[in-house]
Amino acid sequence: MLLIPCPHCGVRPETEFVYGGDATVRRPDPKTASLDAWAAYIYERDNPKGPHTELWLHASGCHSWLVVERDTVTHAIGQVRQARDAAS
Amino acid sequence: MTGSRLPAGGLIDRTKPISFTFEGRALTGYAGDSVASALLANDVRIVGRSFKRHRPRGLLSLGMEEPNAILNVGTGAHAAPNRFATELPLAQGLAVSPTRGWPSSRFDLGGVLDLWPTPLAAGFYYKTFIGPRLPGVRDAWNRLWEPLLRSLAGQGRAPEGVDPDAYDHAHIEVDVAVVGAGLAGLAAAEAALGRGARVALFERDIRPGGRALGRDGDPRIDDAAPLAWAEGAWARIADNPRATAKLRTTAFGLYDGRQLAVYELPVDGPYAGRIWHVRAKEIVIAAGALERPMTFPGNDRPGVMLASAVEAAIRRYGVRPGGQAVVFLNHGDGAGLRQALNAADIEIVAEVGPDETVTGTQGFGRLQSVDIAPLGPDGLPRMDARRRVPADLLATSGGWSPALALHLIQGGRQAWSEADGCFIAAGGGQDGVRLAGAANARFSAAAALADGHGSTAGGAPGPKTTGGDAAPSGQGLPLAPIAAERLKRQAFIDFQHDVTVADIGLAAREGFHAIEHAKRYTTAGMGTDQGRTAQLATAAALAAATGREIGDIGLSGLRPPVTPVPFGALGGWRRGALFAPVRQTPMHRRHEALGAVFEDVGDWKRARYYAAPGEAMAPAVARECRAVRTAVGALDVSTLGKIAVAGPDAAAFLNRVYTNRMDTLAVGACRYGVMLKDDGMVFDDGVVARLGPNRFHVTTTSGGAAAVLNWLEDWRQTEWPDLKVWLASVTEQWAGVAVAGPNAARTLAALAPELDLSDTAFPHLTWRDATAAGLSARIFRVSFSGERGYEINVPWRHGEALWDAVLAAGAIPYGTEAMHVLRAEKGFIVVGHETDGTVTPVDLGLSWLISAKKGDFIGKRALARPALTAPGRKQLVGLEPEDASVVLDEGAQIIATATPRPPEPMLGHVASSYWSSALNRGFALALVKDGRARHGERLFAWSLGVAHAVRVRDPVFYDPKGARLHA
Ligand SMILES: [Zn+2]
């Protein structure tokens, strides 16, 4: 089971978190986005082998959405930031 | 002379005899015995039958390699299948029996299968699926093979009844966790304690020491005999307050985050036990090594035993496993074995040298003689020069393989080492996990101790050994040269599944060259022993059959658990009422007292209907519906998800979340809304009430509350961090009762006499704070039934008092089933019934909810995608069965004909279907292609072979003008 260091709550087991997918996906501007760009944003995700930047919600804790660096091969957890800080 | 207890010696307590039974026979062993050693001491030679051919099987090992002595333990509800006799401490009164063999393991009628070897060769299962194979027998699989196999097969008997044992789970966090208290594990634990670490040490055996328990001839350690040193080290570790040291504990899983799963057997028997969840900064796998049997013709006859098992029988258990022994090793580590045989007065009748091999064994149910032949210049045995020697024991060793299972299941890799003659760990896996000792291919005592101790710079020195040391030097593949195909059919690779060298050869000839394919085709290594002895032999045979190197073939993959663990242990206390969390509203006891039948909604228990004594569901639901339509009903709505939304940008936030405008909502008003995902599909719905300029109260579906809050937080935190808005779940702050029906206002007036309930003072879709039944209440005028309705919310702890007051004022309780009938009569959707993640608000006829006047909202861009506006989408309609008495099946397919012929085009499906007492007929809501253009059309609803004619219509069946809201 993964251990994820929440910046608020400390190191916590995976069962306290909800997975939120690829954190690098950006929502295009709906006024200008092409149909293809919008479809890619909604439906298309990479399935990388190796480093992955992904969202996790600390659902049984502080309710922060976190941006977590995780290696999909080794499952090693790298940097963990609050999504709010990463987004702004 | 045959197997029996030696007059003295061994690590058993002869003053403590233990009675047990095997297949009903009363037998006696001693404290310190395993079930296996006690069977051996009682000269039980046949411990079971093989899976396919029901050949007699004896003890091969006395350790974790065992493929044969896997037994049923206990009877009735207490029964536990598939326990390893070699690892099960003997306990008073234990009843054990083989997992296979009818009527008994000694006289098994299934043994006739062995006389007809061809049909059960590799791929038998797959080949018999293909078609008729026997002349005159059609459908041979169903009529002949499957019934025959089912009667003879089996992997143990399931317990008869609910497991009466209580299992525990415990959690522990340490700096260093060590698996195995052999020499390496003990050295590792002591070294870690010396550094000041907190340590957990787990040993599957009932004693520490590992190889020192059953072996002689190892060097002295710190001036003590190896076993004395091990016991001393164990005592020092167990006494250390920073250490947790446990025997009878088997590590069966190693997961991400260096989490070990360990199963601990209780001291007094084989039942119950505890799972340890261990977190450690560092894990040392000192799990030892597995001895490999040589593969030669006749190698499965009872009496053929691993060399380490023979030595342990004599040294550890004081058992004489035979009288005349043949020794067949493929390495040079035989001195200890010879000493043990001599000490037990067992004659070594022959030792198979490096230029010889075994070509066969004889004996009915037990070994009587062994054929030995020299190898010719072609490397194959010269059958003309073979000799036959009498023997009742054949001690065999094909070398040792590190026990890598824990390393491999956490992502570790392995590679063939020519120097070591085995597969060894080759990187991979988690940081902070290391192998030590024999598990790390350090086979001598001195090397294992040094490896376990590790290189602690500046730390205390590790244990010192003095004297000669032995290791299995020069071990090769455990595959003896075999001359003819006939002999290869008698050389067993998987003892449990009867897979032979010939089967692997056949698989290779049929194209199964990859180890994973050959394994599945032949079932080699797929038994309850998890192929510990079969794995390497399979790879060796496949290498020989395909002319490749074993390192290029590799071994088949492993998955946890690496040893069988009872389901009861895995479940622990999470069974029965504790299986899953249950959420109850504060009125739950009242529902129970009213005879409520509950349904699960998310984790909630909701009253589905209230059955009077002797009343069935249908009349109860009809009665509850009538109460709401003609008088007044009360529904517990406490489970509705509730979210407080606050902040200067709260209105702007909700405007982006819902399809309709929320910024125009007046304080004191509320409004229905749907939320979409950004793909344009309906995600959840509910009511938004504006409490103040910057404060909103949002309701969600009962089952979707957590998902909605998580999702709103996602947008708030990741997409719009600039918005000044905050969210909090208030679901369990507010208990609620919906009061609905033509008499709802009268009922509420009785509860809140000072509240003006006129349509002008308290119109539909507004809310008011008031005192109701003496409680501070927030009352929403909303309706999910089509009748005039109020939802009275009070602080959670007052829910029961509110419920009592509403019922005392004359309201009839109704449950979720009646709620569904009433809302469906009105054509109101329920998320999850009328939606499934592919339905847009336009599909549902909710276009009026989509604001064209505001800016972006989630899902807006997608709604304009051509696919979501093209004709042919499924739309919400009502269905009336032509036969009014019919209630359609939910999920029934909508088709255009009563007599479908595949591939019949599917036009849609029934989403909700009920009996309506108001309409006196069955009715349904459905999603049908271009449904709004089909009103009046006659279609068919097909389910389970029956097609009912239905008429398509508008989804609002009852009070289409909405007049009753103001009744
Ligand atoms: Zn947190």
Spatial neighbors of B96 by CB under 8 A, at least 6 apart, are B20, B21, B22, B35, B71, B72, B73, B83, B85, B88
Given a contact cutoff of 8 angstroms between Cβ atoms, the answer to whether B43 and B319 are in contact is no
Cα–ligand 1 centroid distance for B710 (angstroms): 13
Given a contact cutoff of 8 angstroms between Cβ atoms, the answer to whether B741 and B633 are in contact is yes
Chain A contact probe: residue of B430, B718, B854, B869 with most A CBs at under 10 A: B718
Supply the pLDDT for residue B43: 93
| Bond preceding residue B103 cis, omega within 30 of 0 | yes
Q: Does A39 contact chain B (CB < 8 Å)?
A: yes
Supply the pLDDT for residue B105: 66
List beta partners, residue B95.
Answer: B21
Chain A residues within 8 A of B837 when measuring between CB atoms:
none
Q: Would you tell me how many other CB atoms lie within 10 Å of the CB of residue B885?
A: 9
Question: Is the per-residue pLDDT at B116 higher than 60?
Answer: no
Question: Is the per-residue pLDDT at B791 higher than 70?
Answer: yes
Question: Is the per-residue pLDDT at B123 higher than 70?
Answer: no
Question: Is the per-residue pLDDT at B132 higher than 50?
Answer: no
- The verdict on ipTM greater than 0.90 is yes
CA angle B752, B753, B758 (to 5 degrees): 90
Given a contact cutoff of 8 angstroms between Cβ atoms, the answer to whether B398 and B474 are in contact is no
Q: What percent of chain B has pLDDT over 90?
A: 79
Mean pLDDT of B281-289: 97
Q: Does B411 contact chain A (CB < 8 Å)?
A: yes
Chain B residues within 8 A of A30 when measuring between CB atoms:
856, 860-861
CATH level 3 topology of A3-86: Folate-binding fold (3.30.2270)
Question: Is the per-residue pLDDT at B102 higher than 70?
Answer: no
- Range with lowest mean pLDDT among B340-344, B495-499, B729-733: B495-499
Question: Is the per-residue pLDDT at B877 higher than 50?
Answer: yes
Chain B residues within 8 A of A39 when measuring between CB atoms:
865
Chain A residues within 8 A of B411 when measuring between CB atoms:
73-75
Whether residue A84 and residue B713 make contact (CB cut-off 8 A), yes or no, is no
Check if B294-397 and B485-553 are the same fold. Answer: no
Dump pLDDT digits (tens) for B591-616: 999 999 999 999 999 999 999 999 99
Residue ranges of B 686-715 with Cβ closer than 8 A to chain A: 706, 709-710, 713-714
Phi, psi of B16 (to 5 degrees): -125, 80
Q: Which two tokens stand for residue B772?
A: 């109701």
Question: What's the gap between Cα B658 and its chain centre?
Answer: 40
Q: Would you tell me how many other CB atoms lie within 10 Å of the CB of residue B461?
A: 9
Spatial neighbors of B296 by CB under 8 A, at least 6 apart, are B328, B357, B358, B359, B480, B482, B491
Q: Which two tokens stand for residue B856?
A: 């972006």
Supply the pLDDT for residue B563: 87
Question: Is the per-residue pLDDT at B959 higher than 50?
Answer: yes
Chain A residues within 8 A of B255 when measuring between CB atoms:
1
**Nearest of B963, B965, B954 to residue B926 by alpha carbon:** B954
Spatial neighbors of B419 by CB under 8 A, at least 6 apart, are none
The CA radius of gyration of chain B, in Å to the nearest whole number, is 37
Hunting for tokens 């899983």 — which residue is that? B253
Mean pLDDT of B647-655: 98
**Averaged confidence pLDDT in chain B:** 92
* Whole-angstrom distance, CA of residue B689 vs CA of residue B672: 9
Chain B residues within 8 A of A3 when measuring between CB atoms:
256-257, 279
Given a contact cutoff of 8 angstroms between Cβ atoms, the answer to whether A12 and A4 are in contact is yes
Cα–ligand 1 centroid distance for A8 (angstroms): 5
Supply the pLDDT for residue B250: 95
Question: What's the gap between Cα B659 and its chain centre?
Answer: 42
- Alpha-carbon distance B790 to nearest alpha carbon in chain A (angstroms): 33
**Nearest of B513, B526, B520, B484 to residue B501 by alpha carbon:** B484
List beta partners, residue B285.
Answer: B179, B435
Question: How many residues are there in chain A?
Answer: 88
Supply the pLDDT for residue B17: 96
* Whole-angstrom distance, CA of residue B326 vs CA of residue B322: 10
CATH level 3 topology of B834-965: Elongation Factor Tu (Ef-tu); domain 3 (2.40.30)
* Whole-angstrom distance, CA of residue B183 vs CA of residue B404: 17
Question: Is the per-residue pLDDT at B488 higher than 70?
Answer: yes
For residue B692, the number of C-alpha atoms closer than 13 Å in the C-beta half-sphere is: 7
Predicted TM-score of the model (pTM): 0.86
Given a contact cutoff of 8 angstroms between Cβ atoms, the answer to whether B668 and B770 are in contact is no
Cα–ligand 1 centroid distance for A19 (angstroms): 14
Supply the pLDDT for residue B188: 97
In this complex, the residue of A65, A73, A76 whose CB is nearest that of residue B714 is A65
Dump pLDDT digits (tens) for B467-481: 877 777 778 888 888
Supply the pLDDT for residue B365: 86
- What amino acid is encoded at B368 in this protein? Q
- Alpha-carbon distance B96 to nearest alpha carbon in chain A (angstroms): 36
Cα–ligand 1 centroid distance for B717 (angstroms): 14
Supply the pLDDT for residue B107: 62
Q: Which two tokens stand for residue B308?
A: 């380490």
Alpha-helical segments (H) within B826-955: 860-863, 866-869
Mean pLDDT of B335-348: 95
Alpha-helical segments (H) within B72-217: 124-129, 140, 146-152, 183-194
Q: What is the dihedral of CA B893, B899, B902, B908, to 10 degrees?
A: -20
DSSP string computed for B44-94: ----EE-TTT--EE----SSTT-SS-EEEESSGGG-EEEEEGGGSB--TTE
Question: Is the per-residue pLDDT at B555 higher than 50?
Answer: yes
Q: Does A18 contact chain B (CB < 8 Å)?
A: yes
* Whole-angstrom distance, CA of residue B537 vs CA of residue B51: 18
Report the phi/psi class of residue B54: left, alpha or beta, with left for phi > 0 and alpha for psi in -120 to 50.
left
Closest-CA residue of A relative to B717 is A84
pLDDT band, very low/low/confident/very high, at B1 (cuts 50, 70, 90): very low
Q: Which two tokens stand for residue A31?
A: 């006024």
DSSP string computed for A22-83: ETT--PPPTTT--HHHHHHHHH-----SSEEEEEEE-TTTT--EEEEEEETTT--EEEEEEH
Q: Does A30 contact chain B (CB < 8 Å)?
A: yes
Supply the pLDDT for residue B137: 61
Cα–ligand 1 centroid distance for A65 (angstroms): 9
**Nearest of B25, B129, B35 to residue B87 by alpha carbon:** B35
Mean pLDDT of B756-761: 96
Closest-CA residue of B relative to A1 is B256
- Alpha-carbon distance B365 to nearest alpha carbon in chain A (angstroms): 48
Mean pLDDT of B942-961: 97
In this complex, the residue of B430, B718, B722 whose CB is nearest that of residue A55 is B718
Whether residue B856 and residue A82 make contact (CB cut-off 8 A), yes or no, is no
Supply the pLDDT for residue B100: 66
Question: Is the per-residue pLDDT at B954 higher than 70?
Answer: yes
Whether residue B714 and residue A1 make contact (CB cut-off 8 A), yes or no, is no
Cα–ligand 1 centroid distance for B432 (angstroms): 25
The CA radius of gyration of chain A, in Å to the nearest whole number, is 14
* Whole-angstrom distance, CA of residue B662 vs CA of residue B645: 12
Supply the pLDDT for residue B74: 87
Closest-CA residue of A relative to B278 is A1
Given a contact cutoff of 8 angstroms between Cβ atoms, the answer to whether B674 and B752 are in contact is no
- Alpha-carbon distance A79 to nearest alpha carbon in chain B (angstroms): 15
Given a contact cutoff of 8 angstroms between Cβ atoms, the answer to whether B633 and B813 are in contact is yes
Mean pLDDT of A48-52: 96
Whether residue A18 and residue B865 make contact (CB cut-off 8 A), yes or no, is no
* Whole-angstrom distance, CA of residue B220 vs CA of residue B138: 70
Given a contact cutoff of 8 angstroms between Cβ atoms, the answer to whether B494 and B532 are in contact is no
Supply the pLDDT for residue B78: 83
Dump pLDDT digits (tens) for A32-46: 999 999 999 999 999
Q: Does B856 contact chain A (CB < 8 Å)?
A: yes
CATH level 3 topology of B485-553: Arc Repressor Mutant, subunit A (1.10.10)
Whether residue A87 and residue B411 make contact (CB cut-off 8 A), yes or no, is no
Q: Which two tokens stand for residue B881?
A: 């069965």
Q: Does B678 contact chain A (CB < 8 Å)?
A: yes
Phi, psi of B96 (to 5 degrees): -120, 155
Whether residue A30 and residue B861 make contact (CB cut-off 8 A), yes or no, is yes
pLDDT band, very low/low/confident/very high, at A24 (cuts 50, 70, 90): very high
Q: Which two tokens stand for residue B569?
A: 């242990």
Question: What's the gap between Cα B512 and its chain centre?
Answer: 30
Q: Which two tokens stand for residue B436?
A: 């030590």
b/e map B626-639, b = 16+ CB within 10 Å: bbbbebbbbbbbbb
- Alpha-carbon distance A48 to nearest alpha carbon in chain B (angstroms): 17
The CATH number of domain B294-397 is 3.50.50.60: yes
In this complex, the residue of A31, A42, A63 whose CB is nearest that of residue B862 is A42
CATH of B1-161, one of 2.60.40.1260, 3.10.20.440, 3.40.50.300, 3.40.50.150: 3.10.20.440
pLDDT band, very low/low/confident/very high, at B149 (cuts 50, 70, 90): low
Report the phi/psi class of residue B627: left, alpha or beta, with left for phi > 0 and alpha for psi in -120 to 50.
alpha
What does each C-alpha distance from B223 to B182, B214, B230 come to in angstroms?
Answer: 18, 19, 12
The CATH number of domain B165-291+399-473 is 3.40.50.970: no
Mean pLDDT of B517-539: 89
Supply the pLDDT for residue B2: 45
Whether residue B431 and residue A76 make contact (CB cut-off 8 A), yes or no, is yes
Whether residue A59 and residue B710 make contact (CB cut-off 8 A), yes or no, is yes
Mean pLDDT of B921-930: 98
Spatial neighbors of B801 by CB under 8 A, at least 6 apart, are B773, B775, B794
Measured N-to-C along each axis, helices B335-343 and B307-315 cross at an angle, to the nearest 10 degrees, of 40
Q: Does A62 contact chain B (CB < 8 Å)?
A: no
Secondary structure class of B405 (helix, strand, coil): helix
Q: Does B196 contact chain A (CB < 8 Å)?
A: no
Cα–ligand 1 centroid distance for A64 (angstroms): 6
Q: Which two tokens stand for residue B640?
A: 């509705």
List beta partners, residue B698.
Answer: B643, B688
Whether residue B411 and residue A18 make contact (CB cut-off 8 A), yes or no, is no
In this complex, the residue of A30, A73, A83 whose CB is nearest that of residue B717 is A83
For residue B727, the number of C-alpha atoms closer than 13 Å in the C-beta half-sphere is: 27
Supply the pLDDT for residue B133: 55
Chain B residues within 8 A of A84 when measuring between CB atoms:
717-718, 721
Dump pLDDT digits (tens) for B202-212: 999 999 999 89
Given a contact cutoff of 8 angstroms between Cβ atoms, the answer to whether B213 and B205 are in contact is yes
Map out the domains of chain B as residue ranges.
1-161, 165-291+399-473, 294-397, 485-553, 834-965
Whether residue A82 and residue B717 make contact (CB cut-off 8 A), yes or no, is yes
Q: Does B173 contact chain A (CB < 8 Å)?
A: no
pLDDT band, very low/low/confident/very high, at B377 (cuts 50, 70, 90): very high
Q: Does A20 contact chain B (CB < 8 Å)?
A: yes
Supply the pLDDT for residue B527: 82
